[in-house]
Amino acid sequence: MTRLALVTGAARGIGAATVARLKADGFDVLAVDRGEDDPRLPYSLGHFHRGPDTADAALDVVGEGRVVPVQADTTDVDALRAVVEQAGGALDVVVAAAGVIAGGVPAWELDADAETAVLETNLGGVMAAARVGVPALLRRPEPRAGRFIAVASTAAQRALPQLAAYCAAKAGVVGYVRALAVELGGTGVTANTVSPGSTRTPMLDESARLYGLESAETFAAQQPLGRLVEPDEVAAVIAFLAGRDTHAITGADYPVDGGLAL
């Protein structure tokens, strides 16, 4: 039987790479993204180039072995629940990858609306995915192999100046998922995080702009790896954690950061 995954933040970056990797591994994928810009943020967010605009399209994914893009607010519990219910109500994997960034000024000077957007999307979005996704994972009969995976960041461990709200949100993701792992003990559902370093995504381009850098390539010098991390490399670790044979891994935070946190 084909396994069904839900991925948020799926229109580009790590989310899109994860959708492609899970698809290649044989999953049906509900690829969910806000799909429009956030007026609280000064840069463009991911957009689906084509695809349905409502959760009703999730009906089409089941049993077809394919990806269905669904435009929905990834912080909206009701919207996410509608996506899952339209697809049958049960999931095998949830990947919470939606994220945004804002900063470029000291924490106390950051625009309040931008700060709220960072906290709501990066941490609130993970919590919304869990509120909807964990019950859907638990709907699979025992012995189950449910997987909840959230994208955190090296910023959860390493202080990044002028990105305090982002650091706070990502540290919150790691703490939240660790607690979730304990609460899910014995259910067959695991919960883990993946923490990318400087990864070649539009969000890193925005980080470079916030710091006044010429390009995101400048961040490569921070990482012992000597280059930026590629989204596919992060997706590979997410796909590993999504596998059926990772029952013994839960409450872990996997760095995919080229050594940035060292």
Domain residue ranges in the chain? 4-198+231-255
User: What pLDDT is attached to residue 103?
Assistant: 98
- Quote the DSSP letter at residue 19: H
Average pLDDT estimate for 121-149? 98
The CATH number of the structural domain formed by 4-198+231-255 is 3.40.50.720
- Indicate the pLDDT class of residue 65, thresholds 50, 70 and 90: low
Residue 50: predicted pLDDT: 54
Of the pLDDT bands very low, low, confident and very high (cuts 50, 70, 90), residue 1 is confident
- List strands edge to edge, sheet with 146-151: 67-71, 28-33, 4-8, 93-96, 146-151, 189-196, 253-256
pLDDT beyond 70 at 223: yes
Per-residue pLDDT at 53 exceeds 50: no
pLDDT tens column, 69-111: 999 999 999 999 999 999 999 999 999 999 999 999 999 999 9
> What b/e sequence results for 224-252 when a residue is b if at least 16 CB atoms lie within 10 Å of its CB, and e otherwise?
eeeebbbbebbbebbbbbbeeeeeebbbb
- Residue identified by tokens 């590993």 is 240
Catalytic site includes residue 43: no
Is residue 2 very low, low, confident or very high in pLDDT (cuts 50, 70, 90)? confident
Least confident span in 48-57, 61-70, 74-83: 48-57
Average pLDDT over residues 131-158: 98
State the pLDDT at residue 59. 43
DSSP E strands, the chain: 4-8, 28-33, 67-71, 93-96, 146-151, 189-196, 253-256
Which of these is catalytic: 166, 176, 211, 254?
Answer: 166
pLDDT digits over 139-148, tens only? 999 999 999 9
